[in-house]
Amino acid sequence: MIRRVDQALAGMHAGDAITHDALAMRAALRGAGYRSDIYCDPAHLGPEMRGEAIDFHAHDGGPDDAVIYHCAIASPLNGWYTGLRSRRLIRYHNITPAEHFHGFDNRLATQLAQGRRMLPALAPITELAICDSAFNAAELDEAGFPRTAVLPIVLDFEAFDQPPDAARLAALRADSRRKVLFVGRVVPNKRQEDLIKVHALRLRAGRTPSVLHIVGSYGGAPRYIEHLVALARHLRVADSVHFTGLVSHAELLAHFHGCDLFLCLSEHEGFCVPLVEAMHHRLPIIAYAAGAVPETLGDGGLLVARKHLPAIAELVDIALSDQTLRRRLAEQQAARLRAFAPERVEREFLELIRSLA
């Protein structure tokens, strides 16, 4: 019987969804009586996480132990994983297709391409692949993994209910314009330029005065943020497009409390945690149906099947003003969130671990 289940990550950083997933899984494993630690590449360990992880070179697990490797990019852990004596599992968060980063960050594009190429080689040595979504599981099924399972990211809903940053919330509420929000790293696959274009279309048409808040770190593709800033200036909406960069958890909560609509036009998502956060705060959602977005959102928001920006601009106006629609979406969000209840996800996770012969 397995008594020790460790995890390995290419990097750990505050505010990162994969980091939070691993921490919650470790808590569930320890609560169930397993010995469990997290191992990480020290070159990519955020200073605030140094007490949470061990250098992966120090791992000493044996054949009666298991290791869950959180897979999202090529890293030195790939070779380490193949040489483990322990039983090997993967937690697959998806690897963004490299083409999204060409011209913005060619080095990262190369790493992403390498990550996707190595997947078939990991298939025969991986006993179980636990995927965030059916979208992710389908990729691994195609790559030849013998056993896949779908388990949503383990989320900390108690953290969602912590007090928001009072100053940031007051500033948001002092602005009489309607506030459209997007949360996520500023990277090309998230397509923040489409958010800016929709915003410009609305303002040009003289619709409800609004401001676009793009909340998220700039790490990963510095040329891309430069492109977005230049686009906002070119479209003459720079004064109503706010890039916050990385914010504290309390400041993030202030945006969920203080904004009127969540708009997501990303073209590649393996899960999309901010959709769940927006549902938790009963923020109406409009989202482009790409990747795992439809299965994460369910009927908790309005899905757009075709990216026709003028039509999306009109839909934003409807969702900002139609109170009946907003109430209906809030009711549907409450029902949809039950699928992500931490106790339910943790129970299913432990059942998967116990299912290992």
Asked if residue 128 and residue 195 are part of one domain, the reply reads: no
Query: In this structure, are 222 and 87 located in the same domain?
Result: no
Q: Are residues 132 and 169 in the same domain?
A: no
Answer whether residue 352 is part of any domain.
no
Query: Are 137 and 184 part of one and the same domain?
Result: no
Say yes or no: 185 and 86 in one domain: no
How many structural domains comprise the chain?
2
Domain that holds residue 199: 158-339
Q: Phi first, then psi: what are they for 261, rounded to 5°?
A: -160, 145
Listed in order, strand segments (DSSP E) in 109-253 are 128-131, 148-150, 178-183, 210-215, 241-245
| DSSP secondary structure of 263-310 | EE--S--SS-HHHHHHHHTT--EEEE--TTHHHHHTTSSEEESS--HH
pTM (whole model) above 0.75: yes
Asked, for residue 210, whether it belongs to a domain, the answer is: yes
Contact 11, 72 (CB under 8 A): no
Structure tokens at 236: 């003459």
Among 127, 151, 175, where does a domain finish? 151
Q: Do the domain assignments include residue 218?
A: yes
Do 71 and 103 sit in the same domain of this protein?
A: yes
Residue type, 125: I
Q: Based on the fold, state whether residues 273 and 292 are members of the same structural domain.
A: yes
- Pick from 79, 188, 95: nearest CA to 139: 95
CATH of the domain at 320: 3.40.50.2000
Residue 115 has a pLDDT of 83
Report the chain (357 residues): mean pLDDT per 10 consecutive residues.
94 85 95 97 89 94 96 84 96 92 88 87 96 97 96 90 97 97 95 98 92 90 93 98 94 98 98 97 98 98 98 97 97 96 94 91
Quote the pLDDT of residue 337.
97
Long-range pairs for 121-125 at CB < 8 Å and ≥24 separation? 121/82, 122/71, 122/78, 122/81, 122/82, 122/90, 125/82, 125/88
Asked if residue 309 lies in contact with residue 295, where contact means CB atoms within 8 angstroms, the answer is no
Residue 147 CA to chain centroid, in angstroms?
Answer: 24
| Domain termination residue (choose one: 151, 181, 215) | 151
- If asked whether residues 197 and 283 sit together in one domain, one would say yes
Query: Are 111 and 199 within one domain?
Result: no
Q: What integer pLDDT is reported at residue 89 of this predicted model?
A: 98
pLDDT of res. 138 = 97
Whether residue 344 lies inside any domain: the answer is no
- Report yes or no: 53 and 102 within 8 Å, Cβ to Cβ: no
Q: How many CB atoms lie within 10 A of CB 159?
A: 12
The per-residue DSSP string of 90-120 comes to EEE-----GGGGTTT-HHHHHHHHHHHHTHH
Would you state the structure tokens that stand for residue 151, as one six-digit string?
A: 């388990």
Domain check: are 210 and 181 in the same one? yes
Domain contains 349: no
Please indicate, yes or no, whether residues 117 and 12 belong to a single structural domain of this protein: yes
Domain assignment present for 353: no
Please indicate, yes or no, whether residues 103 and 199 belong to a single structural domain of this protein: no
Let me know if residue 211 belongs to a domain: yes
pLDDT at 165: 98
